Amino acid sequence: MGDVVAPVLAEPVRAAPPASASGVAGASARREFERRRAKREERVRADHPKLGGFLLAVSEAPQSTRAWDVGARGEERLGKGLDRLRCDRLLLLHDRRIPRSRANIDHLAVTASGVFVIDAKKYGGRPQLKVEGGVLRPRVERLLVGSRDCTKLVDGVLKQVDVVRSLLSEDIPVLGVLCFVEAEWPLFGGAFTTRGVQALWPKKLYPQLQGDGLLTADKITEIHRTLAEALTPA
């Protein structure tokens, strides 16, 4: 009787998490907008019992309140686009709370080429990089959107990148992205990188997330689980 050869069992493939595990894009910004709007309505109606409804109908909420609505719509729009790309090699997390902070991360995309930390912005105007110095003076890079200096946005993304890097092993690439969903980009070119953070728009971002890389589907699922446990929904 010949030798019996035991069958070789394939290594089990870790199932990708359900789409619901990604969270809801723009959820915390939407809640804050609704809270501020309700508080304003309550105050106006209390101060003007007879005319409160009329005053609310003919006046706008303050800019500080409307900004939350604008931000939420930007995150929601980008979140829908990202969700359409979801597969076992592109997993997402939306609106995640940074530990010991009131700040949040808009979107995280765990892909074959690494983790993308994505900050969504719904700004008008054309994003551009302005460089000063570099020869006799220190090089300074500033991010402008139209005439508005938005360099602090880069600082914010870099802080988010540092948070994500602290949760993962050193061999996992972590990349920062500022994604402007309604900016005035030129027909050719336009995207740029400043201090390691990419500034671009959704259609320019999506191919990067779908590109090839060294991370397997199992590894992507593992990283996604680690980040989901450490960064809870905001």
Q: What is the pLDDT of residues 157-184, one digit of tens each?
A: 999 999 999 999 999 999 999 999 989 9
Higher per-residue pLDDT: 21 or 224 = 224
Paired tokens of 39: 């508080």
* Model confidence band, residue 151 (pLDDT cutoffs 50, 70, 90): very high
Q: How far apart are CA 176 and CA 140, in angstroms?
A: 19
* Nearest-10 Cα torsion for 51, 54, 59, 64: 70
Rg, the chain, Cα only: 22
Paired tokens of 172: 């996992």
214 phi-psi bin (left φ>0, alpha ψ -120 to 50, beta other): alpha
Model-level pTM? 0.85
pLDDT in tens, 204-221: 999 999 999 999 999 999
Q: How far apart are CA 24 and CA 95, in angstroms?
A: 7
Find out whether 71 and 95 touch, Cβ atoms under 8 Å.
Answer: no
Which stretch of DSSP H or E encloses residue 96?
A: strand 90-97
User: Average pLDDT of 133-148?
Assistant: 88
pLDDT at 16: 60
Find out whether 222 and 88 touch, Cβ atoms under 8 Å.
Answer: no
Q: How far apart are CA 209 and CA 82, in angstroms?
A: 9
* Model confidence band, residue 14 (pLDDT cutoffs 50, 70, 90): low
Paired tokens of 81: 């686009």
**Phi (first) and psi of residue 130, to 5 degrees:** -115, 125
Matching residue, tokens 């959107």? 145
pLDDT in tens, 16-65: 666 667 899 999 999 988 999 898 888 878 888 877 687 768 778 888 88
The highest-confidence range among 4-8, 60-64, 114-118, by mean pLDDT, is 114-118
Residue 116: HSE in the Cβ half-sphere, 13 Å Cα cutoff: 26
